[in-house]
């Protein structure tokens, strides 16, 4: 998020879309209206910036859970029910 803001990129959205599409590059590229080679480049860059491996199941789980939590907080205005 901070990287996106500083560098005027949209890597968080790209990563979210990729994970939402169950790592399908074809569907993700279509959703983002970019070619697959551009998506592949972005995914490699995301992995470099974050020092992650998008083929690691634990990483995928952690990122997916993070996005779910962010979405929950956004929907509920930052309030987590007791």
- Tell me the average confidence (pLDDT) per consecutive run of 10 residues in the chain, 82 residues long: 85 96 98 98 97 97 94 75 50
Q: Which two tokens stand for residue 25?
A: 């590059």
- Give me the pLDDT at residue 74, please: 78
Q: Could you give the CA distance from residue 36 to residue 27 in angstroms, rounded to a whole number? A: 9
Tell me the pTM.
0.85
- Give me the pLDDT at residue 8, please: 87
- Give me the pLDDT at residue 82, please: 47
- Give me the pLDDT at residue 79, please: 59
């Amino acid at each position: 998020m901070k990287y996106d803001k500083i560098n005027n990129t949209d890597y968080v959205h790209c990563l979210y879309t990729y994970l939402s599409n169950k790592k399908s590059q074809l569907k993700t590229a279509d959703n983002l209206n970019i070619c697959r080679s551009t998506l592949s480049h972005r995914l490699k860059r995301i992995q470099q910036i974050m020092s992650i491996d998008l083929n690691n199941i634990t990483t995928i789980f952690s990122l997916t859970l993070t996005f779910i939590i962010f979405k929950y907080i956004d929907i509920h205005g930052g309030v987590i029910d007791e």
